[in-house]
């Protein structure tokens, strides 16, 4: 079981909940985001930005609640550069110390059968954002341009940065350089189109791939499986 909804207090954020069946690992695709997580088994965690798909292993009945922060927002919430968390799942206590222990007590007392835990995570993240003066506005600008299919060079020019400066800022904000983020966002755009029913050849053209074979190679490299494995079976 998985469900999600917009987090109204943080633009672009999503709060979600799931209960594991424990049958096989869940393939979590890279998305340029950082998540604040709570697991009924592992407690409070931070999911750093992944470069390739992460296989999440849970026990049957394990409850998960999360707040997925939009690209570029996580560093302001967690107080650490995104590249320090890349490809990692880190206990929140490693970053926040006593504050994480206090939050864990509140989460443990919350009703885990609904949205109260995810809403609590959102409330805490919103407070951290206010204290930090908000996210770096560059993150949203760069992510939006790359998600729309702009080239890295055009994006750098639009935000007024040189290639090296954009790469450094992207490492801090997203966990990797703009070329990697562009590849990940293009894959997400392509999979959204494919889930909407478009044939893969058409998806490849619309998402900016050279052809369907190029799309398949890119998805397999980032997701670990070809796109057909990520789509529901044909009726």
- Per cent of the chain over pLDDT 70 is 97
Cα 143 to Cα 13, 149, 151, 166: the distances in Å are 14, 10, 11, 12
Average confidence (pLDDT) over 219-227: 97
Q: Is the pLDDT of residue 8 over 70?
A: yes
Give me the pLDDT at residue 2, please.
86
Name the band, by pLDDT with cuts 50, 70 and 90, for residue 234.
low
Give me the pLDDT at residue 174, please.
98
- Per cent of the chain over pLDDT 90 is 83
The CB-based long-range contact list for 99-106 (8 Å cut-off, 24+ gap) reads: 100/44, 103/44, 104/43, 104/44
What does the angle CA 64 – CA 40 – CA 134 come to, to the nearest 5 degrees?
55
Give me the pLDDT at residue 29, please.
97
Instruction: Give pLDDT tens digits for 77-133.
Output: 999 999 999 999 999 999 999 999 999 988 888 765 556 898 999 999 999 999 999
Average confidence (pLDDT) over 149-167: 96
Helix, coil or strand: residue 99: helix
User: What's phi and psi for 174, nearest 5 deg?
Assistant: -115, -20
Name the band, by pLDDT with cuts 50, 70 and 90, for residue 215.
very high
Give me the pLDDT at residue 115, please.
60
Q: What is the mean pLDDT of the chain?
A: 94
Average confidence (pLDDT) over 145-153: 95
Instruction: Give pLDDT tens digits for 28-43.
Output: 999 999 999 999 889 9
Q: Is the pLDDT of residue 14 over 70?
A: yes
Q: Would you state the torsion angle of the CA atoms of residues 193, 7, 181, 135, taken in this order, to the nearest 10 degrees?
A: 150
For residue 137, how many other CB atoms are within 10 A of its CB?
10
pTM over 0.75: yes
Residue pair 209/201 in contact (Cβ under 8 Å)? The answer is no
Give me the pLDDT at residue 21, please.
86
Average confidence (pLDDT) over 131-149: 96
């Amino acid at each position: 079981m998985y469900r999600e909804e917009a987090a109204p207090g943080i633009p672009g954020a999503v709060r979600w909940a799931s209960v594991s069946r424990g049958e096989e690992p869940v393939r979590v695709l890279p998305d340029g985001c950082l998540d604040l997580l709570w697991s009924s088994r592992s407690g409070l965690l931070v999911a750093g930005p992944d470069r390739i798909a992460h296989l999440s292993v849970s026990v049957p009945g394990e409850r998960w609640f999360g707040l997925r922060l939009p690209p570029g927002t996580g560093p302001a919430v967690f107080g650490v550069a995104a590249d320090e968390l890349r490809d990692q799942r880190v206990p929140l206590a490693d970053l926040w110390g006593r504050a994480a222990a206090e939050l864990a007590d509140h989460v443990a007392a919350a009703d885990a059968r609904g949205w109260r835990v995810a809403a609590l995570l959102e409330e805490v993240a919103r407070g951290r954002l206010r204290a930090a003066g908000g996210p770096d506005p560059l993150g949203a600008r760069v992510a939006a341009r790359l998600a729309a299919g702009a080239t890295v060079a055009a994006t750098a020019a639009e935000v007024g940065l040189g290639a090296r400066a954009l790469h450094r800022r992207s490492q801090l904000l997203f966990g990797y350089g703009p070329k990697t983020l562009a590849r990940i966002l293009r894959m997400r755009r392509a999979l959204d189109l494919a889930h909407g029913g478009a044939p893969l050849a058409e998806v490849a053209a619309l998402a900016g791939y050279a052809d369907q074979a190029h799309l398949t190679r890119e998805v397999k490299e980032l997701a670990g499986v070809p796109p057909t494995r990520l789509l529901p079976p044909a009726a």
